[in-house]
Structure 1
């Protein structure tokens, strides 16, 4: 079992605060993610979710969640998904992101990343592009951002 998924299963099974403990530890590994204080709620192969709380620290000039904070949350969700899904003989790196902002993010936002199982077991060769579907959803269910993060999947060095 991948280390991130194993840590998630162990920490989220704690009776109190396990999701927050995992989220803190995840942000320590990649400190920039800590700027939005993600709170992971789901991590499983091909699917990850986290919540960005709407608070002053992530506001823009109109007091909604800033576009770059949303992208940061989407990338954190994608990273947890990738680490929880990728076969051990492969590695990944982000190659690009394309998003559209579709509504004001005027509440907490759930950032979701999803892939299909077959994407991770495609013919490897020297490597290939893997698109990860991402979206951010407001508390009322409205999608506020959606798009794709492209990963480069390549063989892990021996």
Structure 2
């Protein structure tokens, strides 16, 4: 299993390394390719990426389609989870609740954040990941929570 955060740290030091990391991330999870997320920042408890407004992700109104935005938010959440979770634990998405707050008329920035204390609890726990997608002017277009089910990895 690739250590996502270690790979990000190594590649982000290189010229265009974040672009390379983003492409590798897409290969590991091909359903993110449509949104084409580009990572800006990744670390424990925070991930940030961008989605360019381009024809492939636009709806009939010419705005970025909310499903493409949710795809970007899920990519940010997944990268954050991989960068944050202790090595003896595993995670799976349990649910996603989002509100559509405004039209997505520009490139979109997707940010996922968590409280470090949520990851420190033992046993089977639910970890809420706050997600927000904003336009270039800082207006939130989609905001919500992705809930993760976190458990210990089985012993082998």
TM interval, short-chain normalised: over 0.9
Residue in 2 aligned with 1:8?
A: 8
Q: How does 1:1-158 map to 2 (within 5 A)?
A: 3-14=3-14, 16-124=15-123, 127-158=124-155
In structure 1, C-alpha distance between the alignment counterparts of 2:19 and 2:106, rounded to whole Å: 20
Shift of 1:128: 1.4
Query: How far, CA to CA, are the matches of 2:89 and 2:122 in structure 1?
Result: 11
- Give TM-score, length-normalised by structure 1: 0.96
- The alignment yields a C-alpha RMSD, in angstroms, of 0.8
| Matched pairs, number | 154
When the two structures are superposed, what TM-score results if normalisation uses the length of structure 2? Answer: 0.97
Q: Please give the alpha-carbon distance, in whole angstroms, between the structure 2 residues aligned to 1:119 and 1:35.
A: 31
Unaligned runs of 5+ in 2: none
Runs of 4+ in 1 over 6 A off after TM superposition: none
Q: Secondary structure at the match of 1:35?
A: coil
SS of 1:71's partner is: helix
